[in-house]
């Protein structure tokens, strides 16, 4: 049964409103952020569909994820890995490779939310591609903002992309900033832990 939100207004009016299905791509689906996101997908299976998954080298785990979630598209770290194991392990999913493959998964027209869970500088290109495509992005990679924050912000203004921080440190800052006025904050310092 699809998720519905019950809305009540201050004047006493109320109604139930359906929530549209989200089609997501998880960049780094075999890492800790990716597997946590898939736990959420399991809990919200009527509201969230997995369109795309990416993994660098953990193809066996990606194969298991494909059997469970049935993505339409996956990206593997490189063609050499997939040539050795591409024997139907990924079901009917389109298999693409490398950074270009990650970008294709992140920018697919059917995807309306991208989880950027690839760690370090390796996560930059997929996030950048999603921003250029105007996607909503759950960002778990603060290195992307450290390396290219101003460029990302400029491009977001041009494409109406949005970032929602989902990693603990920058999510905490995001939540704290919701409690006050933006003009009260002069700067935010993130440590490079």
Domain of 150: which CATH number?
3.40.50.720
Q: What percent of the chain has pLDDT over 70?
A: 79
Looking at residue 82, its pLDDT comes to 60
Q: Which pLDDT does position 77 carry in this prediction?
A: 85
Q: Is residue 177 part of a domain?
A: yes
The answer to whether residue 192 is domain-embedded is no
Residue 52's domain spans which residues? 4-184
Question: Is residue 160 one of the residues assigned to a domain?
Answer: yes
Mean pLDDT of the chain: 84
Residue 191 lies in a domain: no
Domain count, the chain: 1
Q: What pLDDT, in 10s, does the model give residues 144-154?
A: 888 898 999 99
Nearest to 128 by CA among 95, 109, 150, 96: 150
* 190 is a domain residue: no
Q: Which two tokens stand for residue 150?
A: 């101003």
Angle at 80 between CA 124 and CA 123, to 5 degrees: 10
Closest CA to 4 of 25, 18, 14: 18
What is the per-residue pLDDT across 10-56, written as a single tens digit (0 to 9) for each? 667 776 655 578 899 999 999 999 999 999 999 988 889 999 999 99
Q: Which of 48, 49, 51 is nearest to 27 (CA)?
A: 51
Please compute the mean of the pLDDT values over residues 119-143 and round it to a whole number: 92
pLDDT tens per residue across span 81-105 = 665 566 677 878 888 899 999 999 9
The whole-model pTM stands at 0.80
Distance between CA atoms of residues 71 and 147, nearest Å: 31
């Amino acid at each position: 049964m699809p998720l519905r939100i019950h809305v009540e207004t201050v004047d006493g009016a109320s109604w139930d409103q359906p929530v549209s299905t989200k089609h997501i791509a998880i960049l780094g689906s075999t890492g800790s952020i990716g597997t946590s996101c898939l736990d959420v997908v399991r809990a919200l299976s009527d509201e969230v569909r997995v369109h795309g998954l990416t993994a660098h080298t953990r193809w066996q785990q990606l194969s298991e994820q494909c059997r469970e979630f049935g993505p339409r598209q996956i990206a593997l770290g490189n063609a050499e890995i997939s040539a050795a194991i591409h024997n139907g392990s990924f079901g009917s999913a389109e298999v693409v490779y490398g950074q270009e493959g990650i970008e294709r998964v992140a920018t697919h027209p059917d995807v309306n939310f991208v989880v950027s869970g690839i760690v370090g500088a390796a996560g930059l290109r997929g996030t950048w591609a999603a921003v250029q495509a105007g996607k909503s992005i759950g960002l778990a990679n603060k290195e992307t903002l450290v390396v290219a924050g101003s460029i990302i912000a400029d491009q977001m203004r041009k494409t109406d992309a949005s970032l929602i921080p989902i990693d603990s440190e920058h999510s905490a800052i995001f939540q704290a900033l919701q409690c006050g006025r933006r003009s009260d904050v002069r700067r935010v310092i993130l440590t490079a832990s």
